[in-house]
Structure 1
Amino acid sequence: MAVINPYQTYQDNSVNTATPAELTLMLYNGCIKFIGQAKKAISEKNIEEKHINISKAQNIINELIVTLNMDIDISTEMKRLYDFINQRLIEANIKNELKLLEEAEGFVIEFRDTWKEVIIINRKRQHAQGGLV
């Protein structure tokens, strides 16, 4: 008989019921988490763990890139910024430099915080208009 992990079930349900905006927020949070784990791995000189976590962060940045709506003007700028973050992650992976990871992390944190504000503003607007939150 299979053992059911309630935490995994909760996570699966969270992802399956999240709005596109909430999924983007989850991606930002995941990227920040993996960069943090990579920073820890560098400080512990654990090269394999560093590489794994930087690769996960890069995968998230790549997902953010492919989901951009290029019909919207700001998407071109966002793609450039995501490419810059990706380049910093690559360099950090090659050079084992915390400074490069911290630079990438700073951008992702800023994007995440801005995205949170957008979600809050949209929810308030929908609520004011009598829509569902």
Structure 2
Amino acid sequence: MTTPSPAMRARYITDSVSTASPVKLLLMLFDRLVLDLNRGEQALLAGDRAEANTHLKHAQDIVTELHVSLNLDVWDGAAGLAALYAFVETELVNANVHGDAAKVKAVLGLMEPLRDTWREAALAVAAAEG
């Protein structure tokens, strides 16, 4: 089996994102966020600040997107989630500036369960609709 070219892989990712439902897109964002946090933490532990910066900046971008796309008028808990996103954004900036792997691990400890909760909610909705 041949490995797809970078162009083919980019096209596949673009097509996957552009055709994803809002729920699937949310789960994709959270999965990538967790991946970036894991990679950022590992890079910091290995002393590779440049690699860590790449992953932590991407994680910051994802959290910012989650934060700005949150509709505060739809759900009573949205304000609390917005506050969590704001906290995580600040922690990621500080972790990146100071090379603090423990902060990244703490953020991961917040975001992994949140990702899992969104996944469970999506499955529950799909089962109810199905």
What TM-score results when the alignment is normalised by the length of structure 2?
A: 0.89
Matched, 1:7 2:12: no
Residue-by-residue CA offset, 1:88-111 (whole Å, 9 max, x unaligned) = 111211221211001101111111
Aligned pair count reads 125
C-alpha deviation, 1:76, in angstroms: 0.4
Distance 1:30 1:49 in 2: 16
Q: Which has the higher relative contact order, 1 or 2, with Cα contacts under 8 A spaced 6 or more apart?
A: 2
Instruction: Return closer, same or farther for 1:99/1:17 CA change in 2, 3 Å cut-off.
Output: same
Distance 1:61 1:4 in 2: 26
1:1-133 equivalences under 5 Å are: 5-71=7-73, 72-127=75-130
| Structure 1 unpaired stretches of 5+ | 128-133
**What root-mean-square deviation, in Å, do the aligned CA atoms of Structure 1 and Structure 2 show?**
1.5
What TM-score results when the alignment is normalised by the length of structure 1?
A: 0.87
Distance 1:25 1:46 in 2: 28
Distance 2:11 2:56 in 1: 26
Partner SS state of residue 110, structure 1:
helix
C-alpha deviation, 1:4, in angstroms: 7.8
